[in-house]
């Protein structure tokens, strides 16, 4: 999820971050990244306050990308875990 690449500036190669997670947004609550694995394949996002999702809430993931932009992906999530729906609880 986080990409660091060398960019040539003048005569030097400088490492810079090309893409990194900024935050997740559920309803109006921001989740900020607090921890990641060494190679950034898994991350832990934490909200500032407790959140109770409602059915069909929109979950957005916002990435900072260079040069100077953002990329946002979204999906609809249910309040109940999918496993409970499939198993018929």
What is the pLDDT averaged over residues 49-65? 87
Partners of 72 in the β-ladder:
62
**Which 3 state secondary structure label does DSSP give 12?**
strand
Provide the pLDDT for residue 6: 65
**Closest-CA residue to 53 (of 78, 32, 31, 83):** 78
Provide the pLDDT for residue 40: 81
Share of the chain above pLDDT 90, in %: 21
What is the pLDDT averaged over residues 15-42? 85
Model confidence at 33, in pLDDT bands (50, 70, 90)? very high
Q: 61, 24 in Cβ contact below 8 A?
A: yes
In whole angstroms, give the CA distance from residue 25 to residue 27: 6
Look at 40 and 32; give whichever has higher pLDDT. 32
Task: Give the start-to-end residue ranges of the domains of the chain.
Answer: 18-87
Return the DSSP state at 53: P
Provide the pLDDT for residue 17: 67
């Amino acid at each position: 999820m986080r990409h660091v690449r060398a960019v040539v500036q003048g005569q030097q190669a400088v490492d810079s971050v090309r893409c990194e997670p900024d935050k997740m947004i559920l309803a109006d609550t921001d989740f900020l990244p607090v921890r990641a694995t060494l190679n950034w394949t898994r991350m832990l996002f934490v909200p500032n306050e407790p959140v109770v999702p409602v059915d069909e809430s929109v979950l957005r993931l916002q990435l900072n990308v260079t040069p100077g932009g953002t990329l946002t992906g979204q999906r609809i999530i249910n309040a109940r875990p999918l496993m409970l729906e499939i198993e018929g609880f």
